[in-house]
Amino acid sequence: MNITELLAKGGPVIWILALYSSIGLAIVLERYFLFLRLRQLPKQWQQGLGQLLDDPAAQKELSQLRGPEANIIRAVAEAHNDGIKDLRGVGERVRGEEIQRMEFGLRTLSILGNTAPLLGLLGTITGMIKAFMVIEQAGGKVDAQALAGGIWEAMITTGVGLAVAIPLLLMLHFLEGSVERRALKMSRCIALLLERRVVDPVVPVQTQQTHHWENITDGV
């Protein structure tokens, strides 16, 4: 059976499932190439995040960075320079915006993947109803071969619905995993950024100063 015969025998449900597949494929490809374009934060920046808020020279180079983590760093640095105290809140707000941008379309993909089997089942049920209506109209005298042909034609939509749903759901889990991993990296970026070296006040000025890490949002 070729695609033309499949569309003809499956009825309007097959056409809807074909539309499901096209929309889902478009979303998967668009999201995939978006994730490929999202740049990672260079390692040299990751190692110096703790001192960045106190380094004006490093802050001048922030405009050259791209990616979700870079957007967080710029927002927190600008808030710090403006005297805003809740730097973690600023970072979390930008993180939420970046996650929302990466998750765009995934909800639609989830709806398509979860409703495709149900739509296929609906097509099968309506096809079975039509087949038994034919039996009733014929007074119960129906060729078994003809009945079997009507039943398998009705079940086409269930098979197509599953064939559409399975790859869409697999791609959905893959994309959601990518978003989750990037979200964890952004959280780590915020945590490193909000740590800075401070001078221990107990140590005399004449001796070598020791440093310890503390979160600048603790108010210490």
Residue range 157-215, pLDDT digits in tens: 899 999 999 999 999 999 999 999 999 988 988 888 887 543 334 444 444 444 443 44
Place of tokens 């609906």: 122
Q: What is the mean pLDDT of residues 43-71?
A: 71
Choose between 199 and 46: higher pLDDT: 46
For the chain, how many structural domains are there in total? Answer: 1
- Give one DSSP letter per residue of 73-114, joined into a string: HHHHHHHHHTT-S-HHHHHHHHHHHHHHHHTTTHHHHHHHHH
The yes-or-no verdict on residue 219 having pLDDT over 70 is: no
Taking the C-alpha atoms of residue 3 and residue 169, their distance in angstroms, rounded to an integer, is: 23
Phi, psi (5° rounding) for residue 204?
-60, 160
Print the domain residue range for 44: 3-218
Q: What is the mean pLDDT of the chain?
A: 78
Taking the C-alpha atoms of residue 28 and residue 22, their distance in angstroms, rounded to an integer, is: 10
pLDDT for residue 2 = 64
Taking the C-alpha atoms of residue 111 and residue 108, their distance in angstroms, rounded to an integer, is: 5
Choose between 107 and 140: higher pLDDT: 107
Whether the Cβ atoms of residue 27 and residue 169 lie closer than 8 Å to each other: no
Burial 166-188 (b: 16+ CB within 10 A, else e): eebbebbeebeebbeebbebbee
Compute how many other C-beta atoms are within 10 angstroms of the C-beta atom of residue 211.
12
pLDDT for residue 66 = 82
Taking the C-alpha atoms of residue 188 and residue 196, their distance in angstroms, rounded to an integer, is: 14
Locate all alpha helices (DSSP H) within the chain, ordered by sequence.
3-10, 12-37, 43-47, 49-52, 56-60, 68-81, 87-102, 106-137, 144-193
Taking the C-alpha atoms of residue 21 and residue 60, their distance in angstroms, rounded to an integer, is: 47
Whether the Cβ atoms of residue 59 and residue 70 lie closer than 8 Å to each other: no
Most confident range (mean pLDDT) of 56-60, 66-70, 116-120, 205-209 is 116-120
Q: What is the mean pLDDT of residues 32-44?
A: 80
Q: What is the DSSP letter of 203?
A: S
The yes-or-no verdict on residue 132 having pLDDT over 70 is: yes
pLDDT for residue 16 = 92
pLDDT for residue 191 = 84
Q: What is the mean pLDDT of residues 40-57?
A: 68
The yes-or-no verdict on residue 109 having pLDDT over 90 is: yes
